[in-house]
Amino acid sequence: MKHILLVFIGGGIGSALRFAISKWLNNNSYHLPFGTFTVNILGSFLIGILIGMASKNNLLNEQQTLLLISGFCGGFTTFSAFAFENFNFIKTGDYSSLIVYTIGSIVVGILAVFLGFLLAK
């Protein structure tokens, strides 16, 4: 039960922060959803840092990992919003935004995890 509570608390904080950042950054005149992109890249970077810290001399214990990685980062990042935004690009025929957003999110997200991991080690 303690593990579920840790994930619940971290996820709630992460979700609230994601909502605030997405609301702020998605209110723009551009076609791309920069709020979702930003939280997914920041979350990927943070996951990389946390994984690096966890693997370096076991700096994070199981409870901290559940709270921060599964909870906070899981709630902060959002694959469902990413998928929905891409669906909207397809629905409206905006294939150039679909390609830029999808490839950019995947490539930059993976690079952010790698960079965070390297910085933490």
Give the residue ranges of the annotated binding site for Na(+). 74, 77
User: What DSSP string runs through 34-48?
Assistant: HHHHHHHHHHHHHHH
How far, in Å, CA of 47 to CA of 91, rounded? 32
CA angle 58, 73, 66 (to 5 degrees): 45
**Can you read off the two tokens belonging to residue 104?**
């950019």
Q: Which residues are annotated as a binding site?
A: 74, 77
**Can you read off the two tokens belonging to residue 25?**
């950054």
